[in-house]
Amino acid sequence: MSAESKPFGHSTRLPSLEKAAVWIVLVVLLLVAGLSSEAFFKLNYLTNLLRQAAPVGIAAVGVTFVMLLRGVDLSVGAVISMSAVLCALVMDGRPENLWLGIAASCVCGALIGLANGILVAHGKVSSFIMTLGMSIVVYGLVQVGSGGTARGIVSPGFREVVNSRIGGVLPVLVICLLFAVAIGIFLQSRTRFGRSVYLIGANPEAARLAGLPVNRVTVVAYAVSGLFAGLGGLALLARTGVSGTNPGAGMEFDVLAAVVLGGTTFAGGRGSVGGTFAGVMVLFIALNLANVAGLPFAAQLIIKGLIIIIASAAHSWIGAGSGGRKQE
């Protein structure tokens, strides 16, 4: 896609290898993980890994669209927090409020994304700072709403159902993650919205001249990102069962790292939801590897950082030829 739309780009030679880069990194990392601990190849362990990755993974699907448009969404961490806290507050431990809580979180997530989108598209301002400001606002609102303590109780059944394993093997949460990824892939490759995102991201000016509704697509992309972050918050709430006060703190950077590891660049127009999924897996295997090795928390942080750096370096090395520095 990007090869045709960027005639002066460099990726014409090996587009397939570039796209496969993150998967190669993933396989290598899995092999390393498998060598270091046999547990990694057990189905239970892998599904557990996916369960852990679900909140970040679901949010990352939405952020992929924003980044394809040369934007970035730093508010997802705060939206994840908002979604989890709001849902628990609305549910209030009563079974009849189950769907109300879920709906409230989704709607609020999408509305925050919508606000981001409108401000970025029509305000023509840096999405980095705009969504950073939004994340501060949302974080503050969450604190005001929760009063600084963990309030709200999830409805009975919510946690049990989402955490159960179908047939004793496949956790429902993993299905949710895969479903979110499937929706993302569908949006990306089968809808007019998805195609517009790639074209606008590759060259906004040309897309505008060609008559594409640049602003509308941008607004929709941010709304999608907000909605998926809201769903990610629900996944987090279901996994942990308590809302806390700021459960999504710092997750925006995990999401961002996963998307970039997955091959979506800040230059826009290149990348895919599938790649993002692989990026999420790379990130979480890295975290688990440090965990399994029994390293202290401090060492885990160092290893996480190093693996992000090494995986990203390996990725751009494999994808060399598409090369050059992506410094935008």
Q: Is 135 in the site for other proteins (CB under 8 A)?
A: yes
In the three-class reduction of DSSP (H, G, I as helix; E, B as strand; rest coil), residue 307 is classed as: helix
Q: Please identify which residue in 4, 16, 43, 124 interacts with other proteins, judged by CB under 8 A.
A: 124
**Residues with Cβ within 8 Å of residue 11, at least 6 apart in sequence:** 2, 3, 18, 270, 321, 322
Q: Please identify which residue in 7, 96, 167, 297 interacts with other proteins, judged by CB under 8 A.
A: 297
95 vs 148, which CB is nearer to other proteins?
148
Q: What angle do CA 278, 279, 280 make, to 5 degrees?
A: 90
Smallest distance from the beta carbon of 253 to other proteins, in angstroms? 6
Tell me which residues in 29-48 interact with other proteins (CB under 8 A).
Answer: none
Smallest distance from the beta carbon of 321 to other proteins, in angstroms? 12
Q: Let me know: does 103 contact 69? Beta carbons within 8 Å.
A: no
Residue 166: beta bridge partners? 170
Q: Let me know: does 181 contact 61? Beta carbons within 8 Å.
A: yes
32-to-168, 282, 308 alpha-carbon distances in Å: 28, 12, 15
- Which alpha helices (DSSP H) does the chain contain, by range? 2-5, 15-36, 43-68, 76-91, 98-123, 127-146, 158-163, 172-190, 192-202, 204-209, 214-240, 251-261, 273-292, 297-318
Q: Is 308 in the site for other proteins (CB under 8 A)?
A: yes
Q: Please identify which residue in 54, 61, 72, 223 interacts with other proteins, judged by CB under 8 A.
A: 72
Tell me which residues in 141-160 interact with other proteins (CB under 8 A).
Answer: 141, 143-144, 148
Q: Please identify which residue in 261, 273, 282, 318 interacts with other proteins, judged by CB under 8 A.
A: 261
Residue 165: beta bridge partners? 171
95 vs 123, which CB is nearer to other proteins?
123
41 vs 317, which CB is nearer to other proteins?
317
Binding string to other proteins for residues 185 to 214, with x set by CB under 8 A, is what?
---------------x---xx--x-----x
Binding site for other proteins (CB under 8 A): 69-72, 119-121, 123-130, 132-141, 143-144, 148, 200, 204-205, 208, 214, 218, 253, 256-257, 260-261, 265-266, 268, 296-309, 312-313, 316-317, 320, 323-328
